[in-house]
Copies of this chain bind each other. A is one copy, B any other.
């Protein structure tokens, strides 16, 4: 049963697609926004992503790029824009196919079959990020430091994931707290400091003088590869 993640902001299209795909015995998960799509992709590890470009919160190519930082799952883009530059952008960002609305359901299904047939079984790939002497394998959820495995707790993983997926960028504390702890923890700065310290102790060569998990006083934190 192939796991498919369908992303679209229009509920009726989402429902129609889900019903059609489930009738073909796909295992369907849905998402209505870009951030939700990224979260579901982590949890569910789909074998195919069907992605509408007109999302309310994130740009389509942004979603593709973020997925591509850690997974090579095939991505089929749906879009109302038939403009050529949109297609080129999406495909070069890492998408594997591009279908313009309105589309025929049987054509969409055929293209999905083609993608899964070609790329579905090939699921394994390191997809690893370097952090000093440590290598972070996002897909396997494993960290190796000098060859030995380092154990991270769920919250530590969650925080590290958010940082690593935006290399070099400064992430504000409110943003980090919201992504890792969810709403209601916007003022739990002590929490953030605590887990950042644990990550440094487990990953940095000299936790007292961090070189990759950096703090900008008053602003937030930054992952520097």
- A-side residues, CB < 8 A to B, are 27, 43-45, 74, 84-85, 87-88, 91-92, 95-98, 104, 106-107, 109-111, 113-114, 118-124, 139-142, 151, 153-154, 157, 166, 168-170, 172, 174-175, 178, 183, 216-219
Given known contacts A84-B106, A92-B113, is B218 in contact with A153 (CB within 8 Å)? yes
Interface class of chain A by DSSP: mixed
Structural contact, A218 and B140, CB atoms closer than 8 A: no
- Nearest first, the 10 closest Cβ-Cβ pairs linking A and B are A141-B170, A154-B218, A91-B110, A88-B110, A84-B104, A140-B169, A91-B114, A87-B107, A84-B107, A154-B219
CB-based contact A91/B118 at 8 Å: no
Tell me if B106 and A91 are in contact (CB < 8 A).
Answer: no
